[in-house]
């Protein structure tokens, strides 16, 4: 005859340890640690705030909406992580670089794989209107050695602050390219001067932000990703010195070391060895990579 099983009585006091212990049985020890810790922190949040059922249901609806608005072009969960400061925390604790190395910042939701490759000074704006901008300099190691053959994956918003995935009429990638450093480590990007822009405000993240005093703008910037063998991978931005919102970036991505002068230049010779008939803007920056 089978023995009757006495079920454990779950109480407000015992539920956390019961759930944490259950999740600690995950087969991968790291999953076990992360899941039981997550359970403890979620329960602590519910206790500390005496979360009501209506509030928890509203939170679940918000998560559902965040998932449902996301697709291959719209990454609402990345945006949520960014505005909560979580992306930047994860970046900081995983990229504790030497003070002289170029610091890392958030990836953001608009990077895509497979950007076209351009040569030194190749124009990634490809007809998108704006003031010509040349960003140029050297990629070097911490000890000053130039890094030849380093690929810089570059992307940015247009002069209106829009990425192509936000424009229904644009179905081709634009304002993005890959540049490779020359034998002496030099690179030259030709693009258009970026402006600051608002993060997408028409989804669940925007609806939450709209209930606060948070500024929903990012300062003018260009994104760079350098994944060079032998060096720490670097995801970063360069920000335009003096741009609005440098001290209130909605995703906490600004670092003093990444703010560079964008100098206005008269028509004339340009850093790619060419000539501009119109006024242009120059930003000079050396990326400094930390050996892996
Ligand atoms: C971006 O700069 O592309 C970006 C980063 C984080 C959130 C939204 C946009
Ligand atoms: Fe951006």
Look at residue 259 and give its three-state secondary structure: strand
Can you give the pLDDT at residue 2? 60
Cα 198 to ligand 1 centre (Å): 9
Ligand 1 atom 4: the closest Cα is on which residue? Answer: 108
Closest of 90, 93, 92, 97 to residue 288, by C-alpha: 97
Per the CB < 8 A criterion, the answer to whether 219 and 196 are in contact is yes
Segment 167-193 shows an average pLDDT of: 91
Convert the pLDDT of each residue in 199-240 to its tens digit. Answer: 999 999 999 999 999 999 999 999 999 999 999 999 999 999
Cα 238 to ligand 1 centre (Å): 13
Per the CB < 8 A criterion, the answer to whether 162 and 155 are in contact is no
Q: What is the pTM of this model?
A: 0.90
Res. 17: pLDDT tops 60: yes
Res. 3: pLDDT tops 70: no
Look at residue 29 and give its three-state secondary structure: helix
**b/e 65-90 (16+ beta carbons within 10 angstroms → b):** ebeebbeeebbbbbbbbbbeeebbee
Res. 148: pLDDT tops 70: yes
Cα separation, 279 vs 260, whole angstroms:
19
Q: Is the CB of 175 under 6 A from ligand 1?
A: no
Can you give the pLDDT at residue 66? 98
Per the CB < 8 A criterion, the answer to whether 205 and 79 are in contact is yes
Cα 217 to ligand 1 centre (Å): 10
Query: Which residues is 135 bridged to in the sheet?
Result: 189, 283
Cα separation, 195 vs 180, whole angstroms:
25
Ligand 1 atom 7: the closest Cα is on which residue? Answer: 108
Cα 157 to ligand 2 centre (Å): 6
Tokens of 221: 């910037």
H or E, element range at 225: strand 221-226
Can you give the pLDDT at residue 73? 80
Ligand 1 atom 1: the closest Cα is on which residue? Answer: 108
Cα separation, 291 vs 280, whole angstroms:
35
Cα separation, 147 vs 229, whole angstroms:
10
CA distances for 121 relative to 36, 46, 136, 198, angstroms: 51, 54, 9, 29
Cβ contacts of residue 103 below 8 Å, gap of 6+? Answer: 95, 97, 236, 255, 257, 258
Cα 108 to ligand 1 centre (Å): 4
* Closest ligand to residue 161's CA: 2
- Give the distance from CA 5 to its chain's centroid: 52
Domain ranges of the chain: 7-51, 77-289
Convert the pLDDT of each residue in 23-74 to its tens digit. Answer: 999 999 999 999 999 999 999 999 999 999 999 999 999 999 999 999 988 8
User: Ligand 1 pocket check: which of 109, 200, 219 to mutate, most ligand atoms within 8 Å of Cβ?
Assistant: 109
Per the CB < 8 A criterion, the answer to whether 189 and 154 are in contact is yes
Cα 250 to ligand 1 centre (Å): 9
Cα 221 to ligand 2 centre (Å): 6
User: Ligand 1 pocket check: which of 77, 80, 81, 82 to mutate, most ligand atoms within 8 Å of Cβ?
Assistant: 82
Cβ contacts of residue 198 below 8 Å, gap of 6+? Answer: 161, 216, 217, 218
Residue with tokens 């300099």: 137
Q: Is the CB of 108 under 6 A from ligand 1?
A: yes
Ligand 1 atom 2: the closest Cα is on which residue? Answer: 108
Can you give the pLDDT at residue 248? 96
Tokens of 122: 């190749």
239, 240, 243, 246: CA torsion to nearest 10:
20
Q: What does the chain come to in residues? A: 292
CATH number of 77-289: 2.60.130.10
């Amino acid at each position: 005859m089978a023995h009757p099983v006495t079920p454990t009585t779950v109480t407000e006091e015992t539920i956390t340890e019961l759930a944490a212990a259950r999740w600690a049985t995950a087969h991968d020890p790291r999953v076990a640690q992360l899941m039981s810790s997550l359970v403890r922190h979620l329960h602590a949040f519910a206790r500390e705030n005496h979360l009501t059922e209506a509030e928890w249901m509203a939170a679940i609806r918000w998560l559902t909406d965040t998932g449902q608005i996301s697709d291959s072009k719209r990454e609402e969960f990345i945006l949520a992580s960014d505005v909560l400061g979580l992306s930047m925390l994860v970046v900081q604790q995983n990229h504790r670089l030497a003070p002289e190395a170029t610091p890392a910042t958030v990836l953001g939701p608009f990077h895509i794989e497979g950007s076209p490759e351009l040569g030194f000074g190749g124009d990634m704006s490809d007809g998108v209107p704006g003031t010509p901008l040349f960003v140029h300099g050297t990629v070097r190691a911490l000890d000053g050695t130039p890094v030849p053959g380093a690929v810089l994956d570059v992307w940015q918003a247009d002069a209106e602050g829009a990425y192509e995935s936000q424009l229904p009429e644009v179905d081709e990638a634009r304002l993005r390219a890959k540049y490779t450093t020359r034998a002496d480590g030099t690179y030259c990007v030709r693009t258009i001067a970026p402006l600051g822009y608002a993060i997408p405000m028409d989804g669940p993240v925007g609806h939450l932000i709209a209930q606060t005093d948070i500024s929903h703008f990012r300062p003018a910037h260009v994104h760079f990703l350098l994944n060079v063998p032998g060096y720490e991978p670097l995801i970063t931005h360069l920000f335009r010195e003096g741009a609005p919102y440098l001290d209130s970036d909605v995703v906490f991505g600004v670092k003093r070391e990444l703010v560079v002068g964008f100098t206005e230049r008269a028509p004339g010779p340009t850093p790619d060895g060419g000539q501009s008939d119109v006024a242009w803007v120059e930003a000079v920056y050396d990326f400094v990579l930390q050996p892996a």
